[in-house]
Structure 1
């Protein structure tokens, strides 16, 4: 079961599991009845983001980690640079930059400009997180 989540609250990224950060997914109380959604709160502070606030986005973590420098989980909406390491690889040696999305049950790197999609998992390529679509949208604008 994948329990890695993060939330963009309109200003910053909050990671489930960071000190004091709690996440609830499911039935939330409301005045009119039952509502299903999610909320993130900081212990001792209260709710900092929720599914109904119109600005926050909940993202799943993938089962993949970047393969450059420190170990870091890759999440939906990350911008990843994938580089083939095997000579004669399927996609060639040029780096591929795109947004991480779930497509038909598989995590993929999608480059809208090139109209190309590659699997996030590769036995012969390395993945490096270079940003995310909220804090670094310019990385996708220049992705060729």
Structure 2
């Protein structure tokens, strides 16, 4: 079984299913992302700029009947609540983070956090914190 991950190397995103990439862990918890057959290290936990993000196994909710895109830690997600009475706000924009064993959408500016998985909400990926940090600067909950 493959575990979905992605790695931001400071310039571009690399995904677990990219051809020829291999994520290697060391005994001390450090990791390296290699391209080819160990030919070139493209990112590592030692380089000070790369970030390893795990997949949530949850997909965004497409408008069509297609399967949505996988949501990863670090994605910026807009969650439209279909029952706004549940949490008072119909929309939350925030970063996907793992908190106490659960995938959540966190809006630190509004001090709000919701579970990523909800049967009463539609999730849409609108960017990520590395390539689109400006999306979080103006993120607000709408009523």
Give yes or no for TM over 0.5.
yes
Match of 2:76 among 76, 79, 102: 79
Unaligned 5+ residue runs, structure 1?
28-34
1:133 is aligned to: 129
Task: Please name the residue that 2:56 is paired with.
Answer: 62
Offset from partner CA, 1:35-61 (integer Å, 9 cap, x none): 431111111651101111111010111
Q: Distance in 2 between matches of 1:116 and 1:47?
A: 38
Q: Contact (CA 8 Å) 2:82, 2:90: kept in 1 or not? A: no
Q: How does 1:103-122 map to 2 (within 5 A)?
A: 103-122=99-118
Give every structure 1 segment of 4 or more consecutive aligned residues whose post-TM-superposition deviation is greater than 3 Å.
Answer: none
Please name the residue that 2:7 is paired with.
7
TM-score, scaled to structure 1: 0.86
Q: Give the drift of 1:68.
A: 1.9
1:20, distance to aligned residue in structure 2 (A): 1.5
Aligned partner of 1:39 among 32, 35, 59: 32
Q: Indicate conservation of the 8 Å contact 1:84/1:92, yes or no.
A: no
Q: Is the partner of 1:107 in helix, strand or coil?
A: strand
TM-score w.r.t. structure 2 length? Answer: 0.87
Query: Do the aligned partners of residues 66 and 125 (structure 1) sit closer, same or farther apart at CA in structure 2, a change above 3 Å counting?
Result: same
**In structure 2, C-alpha distance between the alignment counterparts of 1:2 and 1:90, rounded to whole Å:** 35
How many corresponding residue pairs? Answer: 136
